[in-house]
Amino acid sequence: MFKTLLAAVVLLAAAGTGTYWYQRDAETKLPKLRTAPIERGDLMFTIDATGTAEPEEVVDVGAQVAGKIQSLGVDPRDAKRAIDYGSPVAVGTILARVDDSLYQSDVEQAQAQVQSAQAQVESTAAQLLESQANVERAEKDLLQIQAKLFQADRDWVRAQGMWKSSPGALSESDYDLAKSTYDGAKAAVGVGTAAIAQAKALLTNAKATVTKSQADLSIARANLKRSQTNLGYCTIKSPVNGVIIDRRINVGQTVVSSLNSPSLFLIAKDLKRMQVWASVNEADIGNIHSGQTVRFTVDAFPSEVFQGVVAPDQPRLNASMNQNVVTYTVVVNTDNASGRLLPYMTADLQFEVSRHTNVLMVPNSALRWQPSAERLAALGIENPATAKSAAARRVESKLDRGEPTEGTVWVVHQDAVRPTKVKLGLTDGARTEVSANDLSEGAVVAIGEEVSDGAPETADPFSPKMFGGGARRPQ
């Protein structure tokens, strides 16, 4: 009997309590909660940047001579079309021709100078041979004169001996003849020696003339080669295999080659390999390194995610400053075998810094949201304003800074909420990794409330959109 009475009392008390909370909720008219489930998956911290798609190597083809563009080359794909944007070219493909009339006349003039110099070389060579023959002839004449001098000297010695030993044996005229013959032979030797010296001087002069004529011939040949080279420059050819991405001339246009060669064509060597030149803020550059995985999208294909890798020796050290913001250029290599990426497309990049797999995740709004004072009062929490300011503002501030911290999520169960302390991990700016003993995948957490007019109230109206978000990494 006592047990039956006790059970009746408990039922009456429970009924009274339910009636009280129902009437209280009806009086307070608490807004309806907005909720989201706790999910399990992969979370990635990224650094966002913007950049421009660039060909891996671009060759700027210019003109090395001045003149009027006479014609454009023929498109390899269609003989009836001229070289233009998008034309594939190979090494040696004719791109354009410059009027070569002046350069052709220079070649003809240089050829005439070469012929004249060649004739001068041949003439001086003949003079050199003649001078060499004159030297040889003078040397032989000197030998004959020296032989005559030797004989005249012997005759003169004998004549002197006979004149002294037998004055009557030699007539005075024979004595004088021997002496004059000796003196004449002696003088002839001097003349022959002088003739050799003169012939050798003429030979030296002839050699110098030959050397000069040969030098003039070399200069004439060099001028001819230069004239022929300039004439060859009138035909502008592709130096590489690739695709023309820009044509900057038209037929009839005059190009002037001065200190800077005028740019006529831009040729991309291989559009199957592309680069993205990204501008990364100095605050994030410490997390960028060679070989890092990168994802990016372009406006032309917003639903397609392209993959890339940070190129070696990155980032580049030549930083730029714009409105006191310092950025560094980081080159990302990517495959473009599909040909969908075009030069100079704007890309939105995400540099992958770290990744956590198979973790529990909640929307960041679940960590920022706090129940209203009325809802906290209904839960029996005293000083609700103090509780909200002590938790919400602290967690929100640390989420914005990307610092590891503990937070609170409000788990929803049968239209009631209960606070659960969680440990925060990696965040991608939209979702945050959480862990707690009493949390499981699929549990529902509160992320906001419906306002009076039925429009949802969000805890963070400026929260980043998905595609990795404006990622921050816990430090």
Q: What's the pLDDT tens digit per position in 133-148?
A: 888 888 888 788 888 8
The amino acid sitting at 127 is Q
pLDDT at 3 over 60: no
Mean pLDDT of 260-277: 88
Could you tell me the residue range of the domain that residue 409 belongs to? 27-43+356-458
Q: Retrieve residue 397's tokens.
A: 């501030």
Q: Are residues 292 and 382 in the same domain?
A: no
In this prediction, residue 191 carries a pLDDT of 86
Nearest Cα to Cα of residue 461 among 472, 446, 447, 474: 447
Q: Are residues 181 and 201 in the same domain?
A: yes
Q: Are residues 346 and 362 in the same domain?
A: no
Q: Greater confidence, 289 or 158?
A: 289
pLDDT at 463 over 60: no
pLDDT at 24 over 60: no
Q: In this predicted model, what pLDDT tens digit does every residue of 212-228 receive, in sequence order?
A: 999 999 999 999 999 99
Q: Report the C-alpha gap between 294 and 287 in whole angstroms.
A: 12
Domain CATH code at residue 330: 2.40.30.170
In this prediction, residue 162 carries a pLDDT of 79
Give the number of domains in the chain. Answer: 4
In a domain, 22, yes or no: no
Confidence label for 154 from pLDDT (cuts 50, 70 and 90)? confident
Q: Are residues 143 and 213 in the same domain?
A: yes
Domain CATH code at residue 172: 1.10.287
Query: HEC states along 141-207?
Result: HHHHHHHHHHHHHHHHHHHHHHHHHCCCCCCHHHHHHHHHHHHHHHHHHHHHHHHHHHHHHHHHHHH
In this prediction, residue 189 carries a pLDDT of 82
Q: Are residues 347 and 381 in the same domain?
A: no
Residue corresponding to tokens 């005028």: 262
Confidence label for 342 from pLDDT (cuts 50, 70 and 90)? very high
CA distances from 268 to 54, 81, 245, 299, 344 (A): 9, 20, 7, 22, 12
In this prediction, residue 6 carries a pLDDT of 44
In a domain, 141, yes or no: yes
pLDDT at 420 over 80: yes
Nearest Cα to Cα of residue 64 among 235, 248, 181: 235
Confidence label for 203 from pLDDT (cuts 50, 70 and 90)? confident
Q: Are residues 403 and 383 in the same domain?
A: yes
Q: Report the C-alpha gap between 309 and 293 in whole angstroms.
A: 5
φ, ψ (nearest 5 deg) of residue 280: -110, 135
Q: Are residues 260 and 153 in the same domain?
A: no
Q: Are residues 169 and 281 in the same domain?
A: no
- Which one of 338, 355, 372 terminates a domain? 355
In a domain, 249, yes or no: yes
Q: Report the C-alpha gap between 246 and 180 in whole angstroms.
A: 98
Longest CA–CA span in the chain (Å) reads 204
Helix (H) or strand (E) holding 389: helix 384-401
In this prediction, residue 139 carries a pLDDT of 83
Confidence label for 397 from pLDDT (cuts 50, 70 and 90)? low
Q: Are residues 130 and 222 in the same domain?
A: yes
In a domain, 5, yes or no: no
Q: In this predicted model, what pLDDT tens digit does every residue of 300-318 receive, in sequence order?
A: 999 999 999 999 999 999 9
Q: Is residue 291 helix, strand or coil?
A: coil
Q: Are residues 360 and 395 in the same domain?
A: yes
Q: Are residues 228 and 256 in the same domain?
A: no
Q: Report the C-alpha gap between 165 and 70 in whole angstroms.
A: 106
In a domain, 292, yes or no: yes
In a domain, 17, yes or no: no
In a domain, 334, yes or no: yes
In a domain, 200, yes or no: yes
CA distances from 208 to 121, 204, 211, 214, 339 (A): 11, 6, 5, 10, 67
Q: In this predicted model, what pLDDT tens digit does every residue of 245-259 receive, in sequence order?
A: 999 889 988 888 766
Nearest Cα to Cα of residue 409 among 57, 33, 103, 97: 33
Domain CATH code at residue 77: 2.40.50.100
In this prediction, residue 400 carries a pLDDT of 54
Mean pLDDT of 72-88: 89
Q: Are 87 and 77 in contact (CB under 8 A)?
A: yes
Q: Are residues 351 and 361 in the same domain?
A: no
Q: Is residue 58 helix, strand or coil?
A: strand
Nearest Cα to Cα of residue 395 among 440, 358, 427: 427
